[in-house]
Structure 1
Amino acid sequence: MTRTARRNRRTAQVAGAGAAALLALSACSSSGSDSSSAQSDSAGSAASDSGGVSGTVTVFAAASLKESFTTLGRRFEKEHPGTKVTFSFGGSDSLAASITGGAPADVFAAASPRTMRFVTDAGDASGAPATFVRNQLEIATLPGNPDKIAALKDLTKSGLKVVLCDQEVPCGAAAQKALDAGGLDLTPVSYEQDVKAALTKVELKEADAAVVYRTDVRSAGDKVEGVEFPESADAVNDYPIVQLKDAPNAEAARAFIALVRSAEGRQVLTEAGFLTP
């Protein structure tokens, strides 16, 4: 082989080796890029799964929602690890006053549209409230119903100690509406600040009966006995829920409201005796 031929052959070998090296480098680079892309996709998927929900979500809710929302709060924390749901339960009017007064909260669930309007009219709601359940009144009597209460008019019997919610509270306003529908005049021994307080009077045997929600009668178990009455159909309350305008944790607020309005949330609420809207 001539010197020229050998030189040409050596040049071809070097060129081939260089091409092979470039191909190998390209393959490594491509592999690294795919791996990085996969890791990025995985991280993005994880972030998407978490939905950005973290931290504490503060919910102000009507007293009649206590048992159901407590159950949903536990489910929310389980579905969103690292979150915590704190509740403030009470009369809807008192809660609304706290919100318009600047109390920090993320979500408000009221027992009537009227009390929700206090918050929306003050400009403290983010978006329009949505009705998620309805509730109907029932009479709570002592276990065994010793006073033989069978109708709303029986609460007007002389000597019977009856408790009502304050008329500024949704359950009190609904009770008065039912009494008006039946043409009845009732003077209770006391007006209570929320439905749980009214129910407690009967549970402690400090009253013979109270007009409360059917959900509260159910949650009390054998501590009271419930009596249905037809006038309650004229006083069914819609329950609206809304994210608050200055919610400290807006992302978690939206997620909690979504749970309440989901099929899972509806199941918990209907099992407690609430009606679907």
Structure 2
Amino acid sequence: MAERKPVVLVGGVLKEMPSGDALPAANIPEVTAPNIHAAPAKPTPADADELGYVDSAAGWGLVKLTWANLKTALSNIFLPKTGGRVADSDINPGAVEVGIYGSGDRPAYIDLHAYGAPLEVDYSARIIRNGGPNGELSIFQNGTSPVAFYASGGILSNVGPIGYGVGNGGTAVQAKSNTTPVPINKQNGVIYLANGSIPGSGIIVFELQNTFITANSIVVVHGSYIDTGTGSGSAISQFTPQVNYVQAGIAVVQIKNNYAGTIPTDGVTIRFAVFAGSAS
């Protein structure tokens, strides 16, 4: 069997060591698993620390890079915890995909942290898509400031309606008479008018008392008729509801009789919705 000579790296190329040459064992540390395991620990690398590896583009020769080089290379792949910019890619240019490698119905969400020390608060705001093909998309905002959308072209819904969801509405039954104030602290809801009547071509007025109403609020009302079974309820075309005045906590609602004869108000409901407005 031919003699096997030691292999050395010369100019980045592995070559057999010439006969008669000897490896300077004292100057070449062994790099094996036991040696690495027994080496002193250094938990925090310095930027000048070096790592050795083989270069696939240059005949698998031995090369090195510093810890600073490695951090720079990784920063082009991963976003740092201090934030960064999402670069274009060949697959999804400029995209960030959340939950793509999961399986089954599951929520996917992004937490935003805007105050406090690291991990002090769960989140300042959260955008979450609940699991399943028809899961709800929810935006949670901690604190008292609103969720604002700035879109010069407006905000559109191409499929479903825009409005208040379940839990934001309520009902109230007017007490005593059809001019008694109605307290209901919901963003939208239904008011059932008290039994009474409106004289021909006349009007009645009552206050909607609501803590969601501000001086700049836009309060919308419309009427509907529910058959009470007595046959005395007013047909929807016989009256017109409108908001005459708004101030903090109050909207003054007027109901006008469109006919010359007296009409009853039992069976009449007024639906309302409160929207935020601005004077500037």
TMscore range, shorter length: under 0.3
More strand by share: 2
More helix by share: 1
State the structure with bigger RCO (CA 8 A, min sep 6), 1 or 2: 1
Give the TM-score normalised by the residue count of structure 1.
Answer: 0.28
Give the TM-score normalised by the residue count of structure 2.
Answer: 0.28
